[in-house]
Amino acid sequence: MTDADELPPGVLARRFGAQLLLDEKLRDPLEVVGRITAVQAQDARGSLLAVRARSRGLTATDVDRCLTDERSLVVGWLNRGTLHLVRSADHAWLHALTAPRQLAANARRLAQEGVSPAAADRGVAVVERELSRHGPRTRAQLRAALDSADVTTARQAFVHVLGAASMRGVCLRGPVIDGERAFVHVADWLGPQPVVDRASALRELALRYLTGHGPASAGDLAYWAGLPLRDARDGVRACGAVELEPGTGLLVPAGTPAPRPAREVPPPTLLGMFDPLLHGWASRAPVLGRHDSTHVVTSNGLFRATALVDGRAVATWTMPSGRVRLAALPGERIAPADEAALGVEADDVARFLGTDPH
Residue 114 and residue 248 in one domain: yes
Within a domain: 358 = no
Same domain (yes/no): 189, 288:
no
> Are 257 and 318 in a shared domain?
no
Domain match, 308 and 199 both = no
Q: Is 123 part of a structural domain of the chain?
A: yes
Distance CA 96, CA 88 (A): 14
Domain final position from 234, 264, 294: 264
Give the count of domains, the chain: 2
Both 52 and 157 in one domain: the answer is: yes
Burial of 356 (0-12, 13-18, 19+ CB in 10 A): exposed
List beta partners, residue 243: 251
Please give the chain's pLDDT, 358 residues, in tens.
334 447 888 899 999 999 999 989 999 999 999 999 999 999 999 999 999 999 999 999 999 999 999 999 999 999 999 999 999 999 999 999 999 999 999 999 999 999 999 999 999 999 999 999 999 999 999 999 999 999 999 999 999 999 999 999 999 999 999 999 999 999 999 999 999 999 999 999 999 999 999 999 999 999 999 999 999 999 999 999 999 989 999 999 988 766 666 689 999 999 999 999 999 999 999 999 888 777 787 767 789 999 999 999 999 999 988 899 999 999 999 999 999 999 999 999 999 999 865 5
The residue out of 264, 291, 318 marking a domain boundary is: 264
Residues 307 and 258 in one domain: no
Residues of the domain holding 330: 269-353
Q: What contacts 43, CB < 8 A, 6 or more positions away?
A: 272, 273, 274, 302
One domain for residues 29 and 126: yes
